[in-house]
Structure 1
Amino acid sequence: MSSREGGKKKPLKAPKKKEQSMAEEDIAHKQKMKEQEKALQEAKAKAAQKGPLVGGGIKKSGKK
C-alpha cells in the first residue's frame, strides 16, 4: 500500500512554443486589425458623449 498511487497525477509539462517568424502579410493584417479596433473604440466614445439615440424602449398605444 503505497500512498503515492492515489489521487490526481501531475500532467506532463508541455514543451515551450518557439516563436514563429511571421510573414509580411500576417504583420500587415494584425496592424490593420489593431487600427480597426482603435477606430471602433473612438466611435464608441463619441457615441457615448452624445447620449442614447433611442429613448423610451417599448411604446404604448393610447388604447385600453
Structure 2
Amino acid sequence: MSGRQGGKAKPLKQKKKQQHDDDPEEAAFKEKQRQDAAAKKAFLANVKSGKPLVGGGIKKSGKK
C-alpha cells in the first residue's frame, strides 16, 4: 500500500492554455459566420415586426 491513504488528494494539474495562431481562412470563415448570424437576427426582427419580406412590390411581366 502507498503512504498516502488518508487526507486530501492533490488536485490534478491543469494544462496551460496554448496561444494558437488562426490561419486567414479560419478567420474569414468565422467572420462570415458572424455576418450570417447578424443578418439572420435582423431578418427575424423584421419578420416579428410585420415588415414585408421583399420590398419590390408586384412585378409585371413585359408581355401584353
TM-score category, normalised to shorter length: 0.5 to 0.7
Q: Give distance in 2, aligned partners of 1:4 and 1:50.
A: 65
Q: Specify every segment of 5 or more residues in structure 2 that has no aligned partner in the other structure, as ranges.
A: 52-64
Q: Can you list the C-alpha shifts for 1:29-64, whole angstroms capped at 9, x where unaligned?
A: 00000000000000010011018xxxxxxxxxxxxx
Q: Specify every segment of 5 or more residues in structure 1 that has no aligned partner in the other structure, as ranges.
A: 52-64
Q: Which residue of 2 aligns with 1:4?
A: 7
Percent of aligned pairs with the same residue?
26
Give the count of matched residue pairs. 47
Higher-RCO chain (CA-CA 8 Å, sequence separation at least 6): 2
CA RMSD across the alignment: 2.3
TM-score, normalised via structure 1 length: 0.61
TM-score, normalised via structure 2 length: 0.61
